[in-house]
Structure formats: C-alpha cells, structure tokens
Amino acid sequence: MLYNKTIKVNDILAETRERNLMSYKILVINPGSTSTKIGVFEDEKQIFEETIRHSAEEIHKYDVIFDQYEFRKELILEALEKKGFDLESLDVAVGRGGAMKPVEGGTYRVNDAMLYDLEFRPQVQHASNIGAAIAVEIAKPLGIPAFIVDPVVVDELQDVARISGIPLIERKTGFHALNQRAIAKRFAREQGKDYTELDLIVVHMGGGVSVGVHKKGRIVDVNHASHEGPFTPERAGELPTEPLAQLCFSGKYTMNEIRKMLVGKGGMAAYLGTNDVREVEQRAFEGDDKAKLILDAFIYQVAKEIGKYSVVLCGEVDAIILTGGVAYSKYITNSLIKMISFLGPVFLYPGEDELLALAQGGLRVLKGEEEAKEYK
C-alpha cells in the first residue's frame, strides 16, 4: 500500500485559496509505455516540458506495470532537480488517470480506493495506471493535493446507448476523454459560451478514432476507440460479425493473434503495411491507387460515424470539432468538411496537448471553478 491516509484535500484547497495567489504552479505527469512526459505550468502557461525515455531493459525488470511507479517517480524528481526547479513552489501534482472503474468526467482527488483499484483491479494493464501513484507520492511530502483528470474510463453514456444487441455484451466506453473534454471546453471558452450550454460532436483522430456526443456538458454517447467505429491507422474498428466469428473459430489463429489484428495491426497497417498517415497520403499522391482507396475509405468511415452520432442530437449540432494528430492533414480535414458541413459548422483543433489538459483540470479545482470529485 502506498500510504495509509489520503491528504485532506479540501483543507489544503481552502488554505491555498486563502493565500489569494496570483498564479498556481502545477506539476503534470503522463506515463506512457516507453516514456514519461512531465511538465510544469504556471496556471496555463507551460514553464517547461520533458520526455523521460525508458529502455526496454529498464521496463522489463518489472512484472507488473504498477511496480514501475517508484522507479519513474525517482527519474521525475531527478529531472526536476536538474532543471533547478523548487518542488516547494508547487501547488498541486496532476497525473494521467488510468484504467480504474468507470467514472463520470471531471477532476478526481487521488485516494486509497483509487490506488487500490489501479494496483490490484485495473481494467487493463497500461502505463497510465501509475500516473495517480506517482502524483500522490510526490505531492504527499509537500503537503499539496494530487489529482487525475478525465481518465480513459470516463463513462457518461445515457442508458439507451448501453444496449448492444445481445444481453451478454453491454456497450462500454474507452476513448480520448482527456483531449475531447479539454478541446470542447477550450472551444466553448473561445466562443464566449459555457461548455454546459452547447451540443457538440468532437472527433479525435489519432492511432484510434473516437467520435463523442457532448450534450450540455456530458458525453452521452461515444464509440469505443478500440473496437467500435471507423478503422484507423492501426485498428480495425467495427467488423461484420459473422465473418469475424468464423475467423475466430477457424483454428488458424490464437486469441492474441486475433486481438493484434483488431488493435495494433488492423486498419491502414493491415491494408498497407504502415500506420503512418503521412506515408499513406504521400503514396496516394504519388499514384498508389490502393493507398488512395484506403485513405478515402478512412475518410468515408469517419464521416459516416460523425453522421451517425449527429442524430443523437436530433441534428441540432452547435459545432463539429476535429482534433488529434490526424487533423493536421489538410486532405483529410478538407474531405471531411465537404462531407459533413451540412450537419453543422466545423472547427479544426489539430493535435492534442494532454499535459495542458491535465494542468487545466487541476487549475479549475484550485481556482474554485469546479469541485474535485471523490473516487469510490
């Protein structure tokens, strides 16, 4: 067990607000499979960012991902020391949320229940599961709160959206909640609106694709980015069920091989041998007919997914937002706009900034704009 008593966050936040500081210093931590990204922000202004790389040899020392938290924490502290950063100046530490039990969106204080589930009952094994542990281990000696923000398990589906087609399988979420929510709130702020007033379709396009319906501040429907929706650079997306069942029971493939076909080696990677959208575009522009067909099929499927989710809002869409790394492609975004603009105005927010999104989640709580939620 990491620690026995969680910090009394409300007391700390009250003290922080009483100090009436002009700005807040925020440490953000985003663990990935082979690296840990960290950043320090003063409010929303980034002071510095660093990516700490981890070799396969270092990672493979640990049988369980959660056991890496101490090793990664020490590397983070070393990196901060090299930068000459004063830890005592921090007001909060914010980690990437992992695969715990499904929760509604928001900023959550790290507590014992969360740490227990991430260590002993994770939904899946993923490096993000140690973000909360690292954050609280750094925060605790400093007497400051530790948070996570909009983990991948955010689940705000309306009841009707949970029905799949057979009672043995319930639809669940697994999507780019952190970036989707952050971009939606940024859009609302830039339009002079409150996020909870708007009805939006947010489309994240990266290694996975998620299309979320943001209805008055809640993501009431969204495709699971690993096994629903359009195919992606490396994921198969939705597939015809009968041929898939036949493939699974053909005796030719193990379960792990099938899983790899679906996530990791599906989509563009399966058809073209690459998951690099820029390479696929280049090949298409140079006359590769197959690459052009697959690229256009990707656009076609994403556009259909957007159209499908627009009916959840009865067609009354305030805006469609295209985000994620693939949104840097002018060919893809221009093609999508041509197909979907009749549904509502389209806005581009290419890329993603998860560090900033984490910092903003912590900042909203520190400023009293929203309350930190309790994980149970």
29-38, 131-140, 327-336: the lowest-pLDDT one:
29-38
pLDDT, residue 174, reads 87
Residue 201 pLDDT exceeds 90? yes
Q: The whole model's pTM is what? A: 0.86
The dihedrals phi and psi of 150, each to the nearest 5 degrees, come to: 35, 70
Residue 8 pLDDT exceeds 80? no
CA distance between the termini of the chain? 17
* CA pair distance 118, 132, nearest whole angstrom: 9
Average pLDDT over residues 343-372: 95
Residue 157 pLDDT exceeds 50? yes
Average pLDDT over residues 128-156: 95
State pLDDT tens for residues 25-61: 999 999 987 889 999 999 999 999 999 988 878 888 8
Q: Which of 199, 211, 264, 276 is nearest to 235 (CA)?
A: 264
pLDDT, residue 63, reads 81
pLDDT, residue 71, reads 92
Domains belonging to the chain, first-starting first, are 9-154+355-374 (3.30.420.40), 177-351 (3.30.420.40)
- State the burial class of residue 296 (Cβ atoms within 10 Å of its Cβ: 0-12, 13-18, 19+): middle
pLDDT, residue 6, reads 45
Tell the residue number behind the tokens 């099938």, with chain if given.
Answer: 258
Q: Which of residues 60 and 322 earns the better pLDDT score? A: 322
SS3 at position 157: coil
Token pair listed for 74: 């020490």
* CA pair distance 189, 210, nearest whole angstrom: 22
pLDDT, residue 127, reads 83
pLDDT, residue 5, reads 43
Residue 296 pLDDT exceeds 90? yes
State pLDDT tens for residues 226-270: 899 999 999 999 999 999 999 999 999 999 999 999 998 999 999
Q: In which band, very low, low, confident or very high, does the pLDDT at 11 lie, cut at 50, 70 and 90?
A: low
pLDDT, residue 7, reads 47
Residue 2 pLDDT exceeds 70? no
Rg (CA), the chain: 21
pLDDT, residue 62, reads 86
**Mean pLDDT for the chain?**
92
Residue 318 pLDDT exceeds 70? yes
Q: Which of residues 226 and 17 earns the better pLDDT score? A: 226
- What is the side-by-side order of every strand in the sheet holding 107-109? 45-53, 35-42, 25-31, 92-96, 146-149, 107-109, 373-374
Q: Which of 179, 184, 172 is nearest to 227 (CA)?
A: 172
pLDDT, residue 177, reads 93
Q: In which band, very low, low, confident or very high, does the pLDDT at 10 lie, cut at 50, 70 and 90?
A: low
57-66, 196-205, 260-269: the lowest-pLDDT one:
57-66
pLDDT, residue 55, reads 85
